Amino acid sequence: MADAKLQIIPLGGLGEFGMNCLALRYKDDIIVIDAGLMFPETELLGVDIVVPDISYLVENREKVRAIILTHGHEDHIGGLPWILSELNVPVYGTEFTLAYVEGKLEEHALLDDTELIEITPGARFTLGAFTIEPIRVTHSLVDCVALAIETPVGIVVHTGDFKIDLSPPDGKAFDLHRFAEYGQRGVLCLLQDSTNVDRPGYTPSEWAVKPRLDEIFSRTKKKLFFSCFSSSIYRIRIAMELARVHGRKVAVVGRSMLESSEIAQDLGYIEIPPGLLIHPGQIADHAPEEVMVLISGTQGEPMSALSRAAVDNHKHARIAAGDTVILSSRVIPGNEKSIFRVIDHLCRRDAHVIYDDGASGLIHVSGHASQEEQRLMINLLRPKFFIPIHGDYRHLKKHAEVAQRLGVVDLALTIENGEVLEIDRNDARKTGKVTAGRVCIDSGSTADVVEDLVIRDRRHLSEDGIVLPILTINKLSGKVERQPEVVSRGFVGGEPELMEGARQVVTQTLDNSSDEEKADYGVIKEKIRIDLKRYIQKNTSRRPLIMPVILEI
């Protein structure tokens, strides 16, 4: 017994943002914490979402006891439908988290076959070798927990996403005392949210946006459109309170906003006085100054209600000159172009657009702990080992440095997806790797796993045609699995000899590339494209469109 070790195996979210998923294994017991998705990089065009590769869990399916959810954000629960369709295990989560999960599973016809078990802060439960206590934490979403996990080698604390909000709008405060008690008992290992490690100081409370929003409500003469993430329940609550105080009826527009506000209302997180809500069809029946439209689409998603309203293409949400539009959210890096496109459309309609541009006052706060909150929790828990979770590699690295410098932690170390960290009471070391990676999904169905593809085209496609080098890369080893194929269409130089030569060019490019380059599809595709372009031009004087396709297996 004494020689067995605890294995910590991140399957997603370490070395990237999103699709958080981490396994803990002790002998024949595995528990999984969170099952998130990730929204794809622009390079994966056409892919709707990305989920973690769970081959490791599937291979060990008889050992997996359950999936435990820390909270209801997509990057923690969004992968569930795909994971459960391969691995039917019980799912544990708080009341609010499970309400989101239910809707998701119902959509995928998985609800009847899934065992959902509600957990509450302070109520311990046992799964194989693990006894788990959820501890209330605060975040931008409600009903979030950290997990204190008793294992045979010691206690592991997983923070989930958190900030230390001393005045959450629902009064359910961060449980400082429970963390302090665990610190007294002794914590072997802390897995802590790294997201905001770049920010010094403290993250403001969810309440902190109210004064500035109140000012904006006061000054607004015509219709007021309020947009935030649909899961920002606190924000929705504040907006509805302000609407009531300032004499505005509320119309909720956009599917995700409707669903989310209904769940929050059902579970008592938002109290809506009778008569406050109106149907979107009634907006036109009220004077502009008596309406607030709660609308989804802060990130400029092309089909969202706000994007459509911005180009006069929403039946009920119509933007008129002098209306005010508040985007109470951050500009997520990578979404600038679509967000600013929507803002430009709104400006052309002479709407006042208030967004988080650094000069609009405090209209949005982060849900993640800044450095001082991270330090506070580390001081409360005084863990022997410290592992940063959630973030790009530079965040994990910096977070480990921050923790190590405190002088409280014995050893702070970074691990990335697929790495196996073995710990016991004395020691923590990386001992191997398991399969980990990204699986791309077409969200219309549970079966449609799509592969990433970056494609170029040009006007004279019919003249010079198209050439597609297709590679099959083993995700785990990074090795090319078989001879690359090269197919063409409308390319007049596509004789067998030339295509055979093209195959050889691709093989050669791959041979001359490092594993790291092969793992970076942007780089490897560009290399293949350039080499093949040169080869084809030399041999045919033609310039077909070249579209490298990588299939992961």
Residues of this chain that interact with a copy of itself (CB under 8 A) are 15, 41-43, 45-47, 198, 200, 302-303, 307, 311-313, 333-334, 336-338, 340-341, 343-345, 347-348, 353, 357-359, 392-394, 397, 442, 444-445, 448-460, 489, 513-514, 516-517, 520, 522-523, 526-527, 530, 533, 543, 545, 547, 549, 551
Q: What is the DSSP string of 305-364?
A: HHHHHHTT--SS----TT-EEEE-S---TT-HHHHHHHHHHHHHTT-EEE--SSSS-S--
d(CA 88, CA 61): 9
Question: SS3 for 478?
Answer: coil
Q: What are phi and psi of 399, to 5 degrees?
A: -65, -40
d(CA 545, CA 455): 9
DSSP H/E element including 32:
strand 29-33
Q: Interior CA angle at 549 toward 546 and 550, to 5°? A: 150
- Give catalytic residue positions: 193, 368
d(CA 553, CA 549): 13
d(CA 510, CA 469): 12
**With respect to a copy of itself, which residue has the nearer C-beta, 168 or 388?**
388
- What single-letter amino acid sits at 20? N
Residue 372 CB, shortest distance to a copy of itself, in Å, is 14
Determine contact, residues 502/546, Cβ cutoff 8 Å.
no
**With respect to a copy of itself, which residue has the nearer C-beta, 98 or 331?**
331
**With respect to a copy of itself, which residue has the nearer C-beta, 219 or 337?**
337
Residue 489 CB, shortest distance to a copy of itself, in Å, is 7
Q: What is the DSSP string of 232-281?
A: -HHHHHHHHHHHHHTT-EEEEESHHHHHHHHHHHHTTSS---TT-EE-GG
- What single-letter amino acid sits at 542? R
DSSP H/E element including 285:
none
The DSSP call for residue 447 is S
d(CA 322, CA 219): 12
The alpha carbon dihedral of 434, 440, 443, 449 has a sign of negative
**With respect to a copy of itself, which residue has the nearer C-beta, 220 or 513?**
513
**With respect to a copy of itself, which residue has the nearer C-beta, 115 or 463?**
463
Write the CB contacts of 75 (distance below 8 Å, at least 6 apart in sequence): 13, 17, 18, 19, 20, 36, 37, 38
The gap between the terminal CA atoms of the chain, to the nearest Å, is 38
d(CA 423, CA 17): 25
